[in-house]
Structure 1
Amino acid sequence: MRTIVYIDGFNFYYGLRNKSRMDANWKKFYWIDFVKLSEQFLMNGEVLEKVKYFTAPPLNRNKQSRQSALFKANSLLNEDRFEVIRGKYYDKQITCSGCGISFSKPEEKRTDVNISVNMVGDSALGLVDKIILISADSDLVPPLEFIKTHYPNIAIKIYFPPCNFSYDLKEIAKGKKITKLEDNSFRFRNSIMDEIVFNKEKSDNATIPEKWK
């Protein structure tokens, strides 16, 4: 059974960050191999075709550098089985209700649309037999309902990022066991990458950011 994992990066990262604030042991899970993590959830007969990670580059340069190192390490280890699909940040104008002062705040856009397009597109093209969605964003209910209606042979599984949950998404997986990633710390532990990831064929490497050590 061809399986594709779709990770809502924004949802996943902030859930992981919140969990690490409650339990410092989770901080080491920033530096993980997403393909290796995903493979540990596969059932007999399932084959992981790809992990698609959806996010937007942070505006902060230090955060962007750490994110780039993480993606590079995953790409060096997994090559075309790991793909990053990027959205964008846009400035959103906000007016304070108390003082009336307006200011701009960066807001991530396109991630839920990109996830929706990829899940429906992969289904329509016959590229996937089982969808694993890692997210707690209820905006992803409509595309999942569309897939359930028009491609009923495609299995759907929802995994909730640490510290995140959605009753609307739970309804999509009705009748199936709910998976909360925060209950699977041992799988995260098994997926921690070496501090320096090498790819001998490419003569390239990626190093864990100092802040994540």
Structure 2
Amino acid sequence: MSKTTIYIDGYNLYYSRLQGTPYKWLDVVTLFRDQILAVQDPEAVVTAVKYFTAPVKANFARHGEASEHAQEQYHRALRAKYPSMVGVIRGFHIFRPTSLPSHVEGQPPSKADRARVWMIKEKLTDVNIALHVYRDAMRGDAQQLVICSNDSDLEPALQFVRQDAPEVKIGLVMPLREGAKGQGMISNKRLTAQASWVRHYVRDEELAQSQLPTHVQTKKKPASKPNHW
């Protein structure tokens, strides 16, 4: 048996795999433990799932306050269903105006043609994942680290784990669609080079079979699936 911790880049998972699908009300424990790891590593024992994200801001969200409420309901549902297993680790967003080259089809970027835009950037997620991964490996909290992200910023942390704790296995689950390679979306080679094993996609049927109940009981009122999800 291998004591396993799962680290999920919520932003990467949402925008690379879940956006535009009916599978956003995702039971991450069922997906990773019972769908993916049950096949990839049947000896794995999942003891913790760490979900890294940042609070949605209504002013910049497609559905405004409904988007904020949806995220809040989702996090409540995960914590209520798996109170001793799932942890939600939050960063934050920064918003500031900046100037960027305008996009003109078929033309390279030009400094002479710039437009004022809002820069929206998620902060702390990458560094939080990297620090948790490395710290858990060094403390012996897990024999296997399974990371769901396709972000090359995590490469140094995985390199250090391989150097300083070579006995710890590193698994990668890429938040990509099956067949994404044909659409120009591929697994990050800088990350896959550090892994003991790689799962290059997540299937629709796996997502469909890993949905939370529409209403999840909490200590207060139930956490319910948002209507627009």
Equivalence map 1:32-181=2 (5 Å): 32-40=26-34, 41-42=36-37, 43-60=41-58, 61-96=65-100, 97-163=111-177, 165-173=187-195, 176=197, 178-181=198-201
Higher helix share: 1
**Structure 2 stretches lacking a partner, 5+ long:** 59-64, 101-110, 178-184
Kindly indicate whether residue 217 of structure 2 is the aligned counterpart of residue 192 of structure 1: no
Aligned to 1:31: 25
Distance, in Å, in 2 between the alignment partners of 1:100 and 1:31 is 39
Aligned to 2:106: none
Distance, in Å, in 1 between the alignment partners of 2:112 and 2:15 is 28
Report the aligned-residue RMSD. Answer: 1.8
Amino acid at match of 2:164: H
Q: Tell me which structure has the larger Cα radius of gyration.
A: 2
Between the two proteins, the alignment pairs up a number of residues equal to 200
SS at match of 2:42: coil
1:75-111 residue CA offsets vs partner (Å, 9 max, x unmatched):
1111121111111111244213344554432211111
Q: Does the 8 Å CA contact 1:28/1:192 hold for their aligned counterparts?
A: no
Distance, in Å, in 1 between the alignment partners of 2:119 and 2:90 is 19
Distance, in Å, in 1 between the alignment partners of 2:29 and 2:157 is 24
Q: Does the 8 Å CA contact 1:51/1:82 hold for their aligned counterparts?
A: yes
Distance, in Å, in 1 between the alignment partners of 2:139 and 2:96 is 36
Deviation at 1:160, TM superposition (A): 0.4
Distance, in Å, in 2 between the alignment partners of 1:101 and 1:204 is 46
Distance, in Å, in 1 between the alignment partners of 2:118 and 2:204 is 37
Amino acid at match of 2:211: I
Could you tell which deviates more after superposition, 124-133 or 158-167? 158-167
